[in-house]
Structure 1
Amino acid sequence: MAAHTPFPDYGRNVLQIGIAGGIGSGKSTLTSALERAGIRVIDTDVIAREIVEPGRPAWQALVDAFGLAVTDADGLIDRKFLAAVAFPTPTALRRLNAITHGAIGAEVLRALDEARDVHYAVAVPLFRPEHRTLFRLSEVWATEVEPEVAVSRLIQYRGFSEEDARNRIQSQITNSERTAIVDVVIPNNGAIDELENRIKTLLLERGIAVD
């Protein structure tokens, strides 16, 4: 795991947690627990949906890059179809990321400016080491699940085909690569109660109680 000075609060006595993890690894359960503990969560997945709404610059850029076929009957970006088009092809995925990542980062920074002097967590599924400084993070946690468990969850709970699930997982960094750049790894191959108990322990160690 990453080696750095723990809990640098950049002049503020607050927790500043990054949340990483592959698709299907339990990030939503983790962020929900943090919200119940009074920690403000800034979720880049939510922001990613907002920035591609009609009328936003990223919407037009996606249509220019991939065509009107990536929109539905209401003119909204069909995120599932776009993912099926982009994720299997490295060139298309780079094009997608180039359009969306800058806009997402700008929105996160705006939200951080509004979160001064409060505990916050930034959920960044595609976490990279530079996000630690960019998003002013004191530590980074990652949920982790075995790839086959993730495939099963995506098929069962989110309606993915097996091919789509495997393409999404293969487009991300591996568990070992992620472990090398985060501070805390939270395994989540078992029951949800096990994950929630681990989260409670981590928060209690940092002086925050969870109901």
Structure 2
Amino acid sequence: MGLGKLLHSHHEHADEGGTIDRPRAYDVFASIGFLGGRRTVFTRLATAARPRAGDRVLDVGCGTGYLTRILSPVITPTGHITGLDPSPAMIDHATRQAPANCTYLTGVGQDLPFPDGSFDLVVSSLAIHHMPAAARPEALRQMFRVLRPGGRLLIAEFRPPANPAARHLIGLLSGPAMRHDPHDLLGTMIPDAGFQVESEGRLPHLMYYVRATRP
């Protein structure tokens, strides 16, 4: 059995989406997968998101809350982070470790339960590929809706290795959803949702990000 099947509540087809319902196993897998560099990579992601003191932040597909806990001390004392994930198990796990300025809710990116303009910053890391393909454009439109004008967006996704054998091995370990090239996965969804793309870049351990703003 591949690790992807072990972590998911069901076998996940690359375009059908799915949830991860084993948070402790996921954190172990992530630590192994990042070869001990998970903290470094996500700290760089947090920096790329340009958080500010007092920000209202939304993390779509927050998982165990790992990125929110890195952002938490940066936006204090008046800021607040909301983490959203479709897996109740992930939300329970994140809530048990929550800093004082973080709260977590069960929900999906394509139906964000927040008023227009609720946030200064929206982040989403390693989450888009878990959404059903048909729901991904709406999820980006929802992120645009809940950001205030001038608000910032950071989307980060897995970047499969160029080597075909290594790519195949990643697929066996993590499931078909992580075989996507991030450019194919995201396509034009971010500008199509109304965002102005500012930059994109690569990080170590096969990560790719896009930074954008809501005009």
Structures share fold, TM-score greater than 0.5: no
Could you say which structure has the greater relative contact order, defined with CA pairs below 8 angstroms and 6 or more residues apart?
1
- TM-score normalized with structure 2 length: 0.34
Larger % of strand: which?
2
